[in-house]
Chain A
Amino acid sequence: MSLLSMTRLRGGYGGADILNGIDLRVEAGEIVVVVGPNGAGKSTAMKAVFGLVDIREGRLVFDGVDITRLRSDRLARLGISYVPQESNVFASMTVHENLEMGAFIRRDDFSGQLARVYDIFPPLKEKRASRAGSLSGGQRQMVAIARALMLEPRLLLLDEPTAGLSPAFTELIFEKIVEINAGGTSILMVEQNAKQALGLAHRGYVLTLGANRYEDTGANLLANREVAEMFLGG
């Protein structure tokens, strides 16, 4: 059984459908990357998993539980964390408080996870008392991912985690994603840097116009000539 499966999903934001019957799955332990042109519905597909989209048709199942119309806080409790692309930190709160908010629904002692998260992102430990809004873009992205990890999620949803970052930071974030995945967290990620992202993905999806276009292993998609012409700059 897949960890997450999305079956023939249709929906949008109240107007015309943006998702036109998407199928998508994430197996336990995988990194799955979704690529596609602008307006293909990549981010919407991810938001749909997290209960932020009007779903008209189709089904979402997480670990055997139907989550099609579940509220965001319930999904968090099931072990799904979501990092939106924009305004993904509490800018007026300190780094430490951001991480605390990530663990908001946890009632147990999360100091162990806090230490682990600081280990993954050492720069954050130095900046723990700084306001998140005062950090650089790359550091803010670290805060956002670290915050999501505080739940010890089984599935991490990342919406364009490297958008607007310098090549050096992009490289770093991708390294961290592999490291997090090695720790046992499955990852579903939407990316513009298709070449790099597919390079580290177990599997990938190419979406166009809110529907599946290609689905294969990351390596095969990279080798596919049509995909290369479409997104990878030839």
Chain B
Amino acid sequence: MDLFELFTFVVFFLSLVGIYGVLALGLNVQWGLTGLFNIGIAGFFAIGAYTSAILTTADSPGYVGGFGLPMAVGLLVGILLSGTIALLIGLITLNLREDYLAIATIGIAEIIRLVLKNEEWLTNGVRGIAGIPRPFAGWFDDPTGVTNLLVVALALVVVYAALERGRQSPWGRVMRAIREREIAVMAAGKNTVRFRLESFVLGSAIMGLAGGLYAHFFGFVSPEAFDPMYTTFLIWVMLIAGGSGNNRGALLGALVIWTIWAGTEYLTNAFAPPEYLTRAATVRMFLVGLLLEIILLTRPQGLLPESQFVTRREERRRRRSDISDGK
């Protein structure tokens, strides 16, 4: 591998880490901040990707599209659409039990997958949509994709900075208090459903942004890329491994887990005989699953715990629930 190839590889790798980082940050808004359980991440991711793809590609006879709009418009509409769908789901399920929300998000992701696969007039079906413009394509020559990495990095920094500011604001404190089920929040007259809705919509909108970045990064989207289980699951493992509630933890998790995921893929591609390649992929998925369970059992707070204060409070809550269990 010469230097140019290595550079291209690193750029490629970091771009994906960045996109997954944005996804993990989005999930952290929902789970880390208010304890909402979204297992339909792939759905919101796909909405962002397909929206931007349809809006920015050139005209095609097979399906709707050919709007040829600028990338920024594609991303923005993708964000708005993910957020809107999240708003609808949230309005229905957020005042119910947390597991109902989880089931509803699975349902939405599954329906989105079915639509992507079957509504050819809209999404070109299983063939997918190709020719999605790269950022600033045609302005200058960029064989390594470094412009793309810069765009992803910019998005990541903006999202991160905004979330960190939000987290330390009164809004963020209320959010965390809701997660801890503080009775005081309700006593203070805060409308918890409304706050939860805000965090759900915001998180999903961020996932939509990640989808748009992904579409423009690869230049091609197809339903396969948004398998509800794999994408969703990887993001969850990233957040839990990194440390939920902590934005830096979410990013660290994205980096570590993606390194493991991509690294093992590289290894199996290099060393496993071709006939075992599909099997190797399942082994990797199995191991990631196992990794998650081990983290849950041995280090549930993740690599970077949120902060001492909250952990101690968490601890106390846990001890209290032990007793009501009669232990």
Contact = CB atoms under 8 A, between A and B. Distances in A.
A and B, direct touch (CB closer than 8 Å): yes
B326 A15 contact: no
A91 B324 CA distance: 20
Interface string A81-106: 00000000000000000000000000
A72 B319 contact: no
A29 interface: no
A71 B325 CA distance: 12
A52 interface: yes
B5 interface: no
A72 B325 CA distance: 11
Contacts of A14: 316, 319-320, 322-323
B323 A72 contact: no
A13 B320 contact: yes
Most buried by A among B316, B319, B326: B326
Nearest to A12: B323
A52 B319 CA distance: 14
Interface string A150-189: 0000000000000000000000000000000000000000
B324 A13 contact: yes
Interface residues of A, number: 9
A51 B326 CA distance: 7
Contacts, number: 17
Contacts of B319: 14
A15 B316 contact: yes
A17 interface: no
Contacts of A201: none
A9 interface: no
A206 interface: no
B312 to A, nearest CB: 13
A26 interface: no
A144 interface: no
A15 B319 CA distance: 9
Contacts of A15: 316, 320
Interface residues of B, number: 7
A52 B316 contact: no
A74 to B, nearest CB: 12
Contacts of B316: 14-15
Interface string A6-19: 00000001110000
A78 to B, nearest CB: 17
A54 interface: yes
A51 B324 CA distance: 11
A76 interface: no
Contact of A72 (B322, B324, B326): B326
A211 B320 CA distance: 22
A13 B323 contact: yes
Contacts of A54: 323
A72 to B, nearest CB: 6
Contacts of B324: 13
A177 to B, nearest CB: 26
A64 B319 CA distance: 31
A143 interface: no
B320 A52 contact: no
Most buried by B among A14, A53, A71, A72: A14
B326 A52 contact: yes
Interface string B285-327: 0000000000000000000000000000000100110111010
A51 B322 CA distance: 13
A2 B58 CA distance: 91
A54 B326 CA distance: 9
A54 B322 CA distance: 10
Contacts of A51: 326
Interface in A20-67: 51-54
Contacts of A13: 320, 323-324
Contacts of B322: 14
Nearest to B320: A14
A183 B237 CA distance: 62
Nearest to B324: A13
A96 B322 CA distance: 32
Nearest to A72: B326
B15 to A, nearest CB: 48
17 contacts: A13-B320, A13-B323, A13-B324, A14-B316, A14-B319, A14-B320, A14-B322, A14-B323, A15-B316, A15-B320, A51-B326, A52-B323, A52-B326, A53-B323, A54-B323, A71-B326, A72-B326
Closest 5 CB pairs of A and B: A14-B319, A14-B320, A13-B323, A14-B323, A54-B323
